[in-house]
């Protein structure tokens, strides 16, 4: 029923494909307008509206590597790098 359409991004002018699957999704949601921006421009626009998180540097309590975390580390609580944190979650 739907066929892929080539559209032009109003932000960057690049041509992008509005796939049949995306068109079906839009129809299911009741959206009547086609997308005006390519995926990259939509993502950039979405991210521009979100405030940047302040990141803090700490030392991983498990391996000793530098870890960047989105909270102020405290002396009484251990901080783990993303690799050690993921490993600990798997073990639980």
Question: What is the pLDDT averaged over residues 48-74?
Answer: 91
pLDDT recorded at residue 91: 87
pLDDT band at 27 (very low <50, low <70, confident <90, very high): very high
Those residues whose C-beta lies under 8 Å from the C-beta of residue 24, and which sit 6 or more positions away, are 1, 2
46-71 core/surface letters (b: 16 or more CB in 10 A; e: else):
eeeeeeeeeeeebebeeeeeebebee
Q: pLDDT tens-digit profile of 16-25?
A: 999 999 999 9
> pTM of the full predicted structure?
0.54
Question: What are the boundaries of each domain within the chain?
Answer: 5-48, 56-91
Share of the chain above pLDDT 90, in %: 82
């Amino acid at each position: 029923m739907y066929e892929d359409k080539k559209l032009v991004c109003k932000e960057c002018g690049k041509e992008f494909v509005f796939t049949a699957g995306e068109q079906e999704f839009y129809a299911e949601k009741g959206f009547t307008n086609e997308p005006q921006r390519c995926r990259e421009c939509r993502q950039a626009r979405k991210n521009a509206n979100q405030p940047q998180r302040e990141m803090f540097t700490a030392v991983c309590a498990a391996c000793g590597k530098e870890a960047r975390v989105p909270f102020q580390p405290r002396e009484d609580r251990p901080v783990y790098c993303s690799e050690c944190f993921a490993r600990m979650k798997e073990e639980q």
